[in-house]
Chain A
Amino acid sequence: MQLRSRRSHFSGWPADARPGIYAVTTNPMLPAPVARQRLLLLDSSRDAPALAESPYRGLLLRSVFSEALPSRAIVLEPALGHLADGDIVRVDPQREELRVLFRPSAPQNSLLVTERCNSFCVMCSQPPRDVDDSALVDEIRRTIELIPRDTPTLGLTGGEPTLAGEGFFDLVRHACNYLPDTELHVLTNGRRFAEQALAARLGELHHPGLRLGIPLYSEQPDLHDFVVQARGAFDETVKGLLNLAAEGIRIELRVVIHRHTYGRLAELARFIARNLPFVEHVALMGLELIGFAKVNLGNLWMDPYDYGPQLAQAVRTLERGGVPAVIYNHQLCVVPESVRSRCVKSISDWKNDYLPECDDCALKAQCGGFFSSGLGLATHSAHIAPFRHSGLIA
């Protein structure tokens, strides 16, 4: 996740200081060669070591004691007060920007490979921008080198990560080398893997923990193409899936449910079970109400409670076909009882929020609640109701 502080105050940096990626440490005793790669996090400027002797790349200060600041200091806005040891940040002294790229304490970390995309999904939560952000690849390489080896999972997202071309394969290889024990979850529309040679290249990297999350919104080509706003996308995605499967690459299929996709959800499940049974599982997801989903809300929104029957049918069809199903981004009270156990508390801690009626709910701890960003709390099912005794709805 990325926290952008517009108001951190940079002091005492050379005028030509370039952006860089560094790990945060609270240890003032690191050896010099390592300290040069680190930002030292201090509670107060009073704790700052004498500037001539400090080998640290920079100092992160939660508070200032006096007007005199050490050089290469960054005074953190209160919003970034929770920065901690092991975080990895990008600093741009000329723009006075500090961005958090990785937090060991976060349940999930994802790195943005590019904002460009070859699809234009009507509900996209990360609307694409056509910019030359190829510099991001190098930054991610650097970040990967700093991420601790015992990190369980790491995500690569976009936009469409495969648009980075060679850079994409480079990153997968880099992650394989530096973080061989870390699951690498790549969110991609899979379209470029319709070209078998690209799928083969990914397979040759033999990343042991690689998993691609690929969306498929309908078994009807024209409807899928509409949802992603690209003709031929269904065709490319399916062929990409087959090429990837032939390479033995693990795949999570993702389905976002809204007004356009709920109607034939059971048919999509049947199609997946019969044609794509090699996928590791299918994630049935609710709308994340930011980005284009917010812009197109009137067209897309429907009360998830109302598509309960289709959701239950889809889960049953998949499971009977030997394909596991999980449900993301749905409150427990709006999904049918028969499939409630498939709900995964996927909204990360910082995005979760709850309504007042949730205070009394016996299942609150297991429920992901609502997205706190976007319209999460303003637009929700009309059937939110707390559980009593962990089973019965009030």
Chain B
Amino acid sequence: MATSEPALAKRFQPLSSYRSRPDDEPAYRLLPFNFARFDEQRYLLSNDAGEYYLLARTDLVAAVDGRLNPDSETYRDLRARHFLYDDHSDAALDLLALKVRTKHARIRDFTGLHIFVVTLRCDYSCPYCQVSRQSEDQSAYDMDEATALTALEYVFKSPSPTVKIEFQGGEPLLNFPLIRFIVERAERLNQAEKRDLAFVIASNLSFIDGEILDYCEAHGIGFSTSLDGPAHLHDANRPRPGRDGHRRTREGIRRVRERLGPDRVSALMTTTAASLAEPRAIIDEYIDAGFHSVFLRPLSPYGFAVKTRQTEKYDFERFLRFYREGMDYILALNRNGWPFVEHYSALMLTKLLSVQPTRYVDLQSPAGAAISALVYNYDGGVYASDEGRMLAEMGDETFRLGDVHKDSYEQILLNPTLHAVLEESLTYGAPECYQCAFQPFCGSDPVYHHATQGDWVGHKAFSAFCARTQQVTSYLIHKLEDEPADREILLDWVRP
């Protein structure tokens, strides 16, 4: 490319004269990056801005030694991705600073997700659930209006331009009057606040009826439900008196769609030991239920999961096989003309391919605790995250920040434990993480490490959280770099 023949007119300098450098200067300077062995042939480089690159170890060593040939495509690629710079331009320094800033922009927005636990009552008794109370008629476990009002004040103290209020439980529809109260109050407050306000009910959909659907339509409320797979899987995971959980869930999904439209209900699955053998069946179930995506999440190790020995049966390597099998199947679906997305992958792809910050609470550095989400429990307790609340139900109140009835907003957010957690959860400073090539795509999960290893940072060599990020990211990079057909599919999953 671009060797001039015929030559440019006389007034113009050839390309070569723009490439020359004085001999006595260093040819280029390195910019900060981390690296790790990627496969038998290649190493993975990454930097704070989330740029990544694969290259052979010999090229890596040459680059570090200052011996990289400036006329090579490798040099050009590394320069364009800001792994090195030279005398032609130091704009890389400004661009890197800007990209790092953009990646962390969500911190300025502060808490956008506000979870209201309106009741602990539930009609199910799922073995891995940490919080629900079996009995359906104990209103001692319902949130009251006074608590809701104060919590709403705290919601709007956050400067976030988007506010998502998510109702959880137990089964939140069992306290629908309070949901109505909160929605209407929030809308009234928002007339002055003018935030982008959204509501979601995380529900098992057992109690959906026409009145509830009418209300949800009038106020633009969406639903998120749990669908673990076909009936035998779902009902084994989520026991309900009558053993009809799956049927009721499918029926609920159908009713919501029919009344509110196809996009107003989403589903999450929880992977249990039983799920691990059946990724295809689960995905087929999601397709049958009319969904265009699935979120292949590992099981969290808390609460009933520990009590019922789920974590012993549950093995990280098995989850990875499950994930790969699920992805193979999903990619094949796409290749055969049926668009279908895996959410966790889409999230990682967004981190790999853009600087736009993502909102997934569990993959943030510093941790998403309080910064991304706050949980207001039925009794007024405020927690830094959903898992933090679950841990409290098991007797560990580390992540309880305070009480809306006793503590001001400032007192809750200035909780010293919270600050200690946030400070320690910066991956820039954590052992292993600070030098990890996957750092830009990862985050902190202090609650997970606290539950599994007894400290907020954990020893990453023993961390399934760490292993999962590394493995999934490597898998995706391999697809992007080595498999063009799959690459095209995956690129479409990134939301700009």
**What residues of chain A have their CB less than 8 Å away from a CB belonging to chain B?**
120, 122, 219-223, 225-226, 229, 231-232, 234-235, 238-239, 242, 259-260, 262-264, 267, 270-271, 273-275, 277, 292, 295-296, 298-299, 316, 320-323
Contact = CB atoms under 8 A, between A and B. Distances in A.
A171 B355 CA distance: 37
A234 B79 CA distance: 13
B15 interface: yes
Interface string B66-110: 000000000011011000001011110011001100000000000
B98 A221 contact: no
B15 A267 contact: no
12 contacts: A219-B80, A220-B76, A223-B2, A226-B14, A226-B17, A226-B19, A232-B89, A264-B76, A296-B9, A296-B12, A322-B356, A323-B496
A264 B76 CA distance: 10
B1 interface: yes
B88 A263 contact: no
Given A222-B18, A320-B494, A235 B13 contact: no
B495 to A, nearest CB: 9
Given A226-B15, A259-B1, A296 B88 contact: no
A276 to B, nearest CB: 9
A24 B86 CA distance: 56
Contacts of A235: 88-91
Nearest to B1: A263
Contacts of B79: 220-221
B386 interface: no
A260 B9 contact: no
Given A221-B79, A238-B95, 11 more contacts: A223-B15, A229-B13, A238-B89, A238-B91, A259-B1, A260-B1, A260-B15, A263-B1, A263-B2, A277-B356, A323-B496
B178 to A, nearest CB: 39
Contacts of A267: 76-77, 80
Contacts of B51: 274
Nearest to B4: A299
Rank and list the top 9 A-B pairs by shortest CB-CB distance, nearest first: A322-B496, A221-B88, A235-B89, A298-B6, A263-B1, A221-B89, A238-B91, A226-B18, A260-B2
A299 B2 CA distance: 8
A219 B88 CA distance: 12
Contact of A259 (B2, B18, B76): B2
B88 A271 contact: no
B7 interface: yes
- A120, A242, A277, A299 — which one has the most chain B CB atoms within 10 A of its CB? A299
B99 A320 contact: no
A321 B15 contact: no
Contacts of A242: 91, 94-95, 98
Nearest to B9: A295
B354 interface: yes
A320 B94 contact: no
A264 B86 CA distance: 19
Given A219-B80, A220-B76, A299 B8 contact: yes
Given A242-B94, A263-B2, A222 B355 contact: no
Chain B interface category by residue count: 35 or more
A234 B15 contact: no
Given A219-B80, A299-B4, A273 B354 contact: yes
B479 to A, nearest CB: 15
A275 B98 CA distance: 8
A38 B382 CA distance: 75
A321 B8 contact: no
A292 B8 CA distance: 10
B80 A234 contact: no
Contacts of B90: 235
Given A274-B99, A299-B4, A320 B91 contact: no
A73 B6 CA distance: 51
A226 B8 CA distance: 11
Contacts of A120: 11-12
B207 to A, nearest CB: 40
A259 B8 CA distance: 12
B354 A274 contact: yes
A352 to B, nearest CB: 28
B12 A229 contact: yes
A394 B91 CA distance: 48
A323 B99 CA distance: 16
B193 to A, nearest CB: 24
B244 interface: no
Contacts of B492: 320
Contacts of A221: 79, 86, 88-89, 91
Nearest to B96: A275
A277 B355 contact: yes
A321 B1 contact: no
A222 B71 CA distance: 11
B213 to A, nearest CB: 35
Given A226-B18, A235-B90, A259-B2, A275 B8 contact: no
A262 B1 CA distance: 9
B251 to A, nearest CB: 38
Contacts of A298: 6
A219 to B, nearest CB: 5
Interface in B1-46: 1-2, 4-9, 11-15, 17-19
Most chain A beta-carbon neighbours within 10 Å: one of B6, B19, B79, B95: B95
Contacts of B353: 320-321
B491 interface: yes
Interface in B346-366: 353-356
A321 B4 contact: no
Interface string B285-320: 000000000000000000000000000000000000
A222 B80 contact: no
Contacts of A275: 95, 98-99
B2 to A, nearest CB: 5
A310 B86 CA distance: 27
B91 A234 contact: yes
A316 B13 CA distance: 33
Nearest to A316: B491
Contacts of A234: 88-89, 91
B94 to A, nearest CB: 6
Contacts of B49: 274
A316 B99 CA distance: 22
B88 A225 contact: yes
Contacts of B9: 292, 295-296
Chain A CB within 10 Å — which of B14, B89, B90, B355 has the most?
A: B89
A54 B289 CA distance: 83
